[in-house]
Structure 1
């Protein structure tokens, strides 16, 4: 299943006999939106989107984490890798027999993304979480000048 590619007009060879029009149904909005949930089902849990900006003297990451509480997010920086981890729990009330679910899409799980970002001053790194957006500021470390002059005998 990992090799599935949805049909689009771009990946079907066009023929003069109009055969390619048979596949136009796969370009309908229903099929395009139906593929996205299948991809997250394959991975077990949907990931989150992250923007990374180079501000010159720092890197700024903005991660979309809607519906996640600040206490359920953890950040770590180790060996040049920044890891963002978020846990989410859907409310499961086993005693609530007032209704039966027809469809249940909210899940409990964990999401994690790691980014290799070298040469930062992790002692000055900071993060803010507001309105479902986690913004991380990673100041760049001062450039090291490890070059040494070697004398020639």
Structure 2
């Protein structure tokens, strides 16, 4: 069904006048955590969009060769009238995460991260995987 052009994607957002970041495309599957990875000879540069998040909302963890970037936010918007009674009370809670295999030899100290204007930039060095030649394990056969 077509909606008049005065409505946004979701007409309820227009009625309640939610803050821009809650009805923008940034929180749809098309915009949140969009990631660009550039490969260089010695490193990877990763740029990830995290609009609406603060630095404190974002965590990076290195575990079993995987870099996991997660972000979560909890926000309450309270509006009261002159008598202190609520005329509107809304809550928003959301989280997201992405993981990237960076190798077992990359240490957390090797990864550089910077968050500015809703964009997380990571520099991840390339480390050579140490291949260990496994000795054949022969089974003795009696007889």
- TM-score (norm. length: structure 1): 0.56
Q: Is the 8 A contact 1:70 1:129 kept in 2?
A: yes
Partner of 1:59: 44
Structure 1 position 98, deviation (Å): 6.2
How many angstroms apart in 1 are the aligned matches of 2:123 and 2:96?
A: 21
Tell whether 2:111 aligns with 1:140.
no
User: 1:97-148 deviations in whole A, cap 9, x for unaligned?
Assistant: 56448xx7x8311111112222552231110011111011111114536459
Partner of 1:73: 58
Partner of 1:91: 76
Tell whether 2:47 aligns with 1:48.
no
For the residue of structure 1 that corresponds to 2:41, the secondary structure is: coil
How many angstroms apart in 2 are the aligned matches of 1:109 and 1:145?
A: 41
Partner of 2:116: 130
1:103-118 equivalence runs, <5 A: 107-118=92-103
Q: Is the 8 A contact 2:65 2:106 kept in 1?
A: no
How many angstroms apart in 2 are the aligned matches of 1:67 and 1:113?
A: 17
- Runs of 4+ residues over 3 Å off in structure 1: 94-101, 142-148
For the residue of structure 2 that corresponds to 1:108, the secondary structure is: strand
How many angstroms apart in 1 are the aligned matches of 2:104 and 2:40?
A: 14
How many angstroms apart in 2 are the aligned matches of 1:143 and 1:81?
A: 14
How many angstroms apart in 2 are the aligned matches of 1:116 and 1:109?
A: 24
Between Structure 1 and Structure 2, which shows a larger proportion of helix residues?
A: 1
Aligned length, in residue pairs? 113
Q: Is the 8 A contact 2:37 2:44 kept in 1?
A: yes
Structure 1 position 47, deviation (Å): 4.0
